[in-house]
Amino acid sequence: MTKALFRATQAFWIISMLGMLIACSSFPSENEDPAKNNKATYNKDLRDCQEDYPEAGSGVHIRQWINCMNLKGWK
């Protein structure tokens, strides 16, 4: 029984790590509007999205932040 539990836990961590890698690699970093494509605007827009969608224990907030940034023109 403990060997099966160990394998299940191991599988869970592998899937979680892959999910985080995919989420981080798809986070928007460039704006469609060249005038807004700078660090100050990026930080302001990200802060706005983080205020609108606070962190959740399940990690759903990351997808919400990505969608929010996409709406603001970040790809």
Q: Is the pTM of this model over 0.85?
A: no
Tell me: the pLDDT tens digits for 21-53?
666 667 899 999 999 999 999 999 999 999 999
Q: What is the pLDDT of residue 5?
A: 80
The residues facing 74 across adjacent strands are 31
Q: Tell me the Ramachandran region of residue 74: left when phi exceeds 0, alpha when psi lies from -120 to 50, beta otherwise.
A: beta
Instruction: Give the phi and the psi of residue 38 in degrees, each rounded to 5.
Output: -145, 165
- Greater confidence (64 vs 12) lies with 64
pLDDT of res. 10: 84
CB 74 within 8 A of CB 41: no
Q: What is the pLDDT of residue 46?
A: 96
- Domain parsing of the chain, residue ranges: 2-71
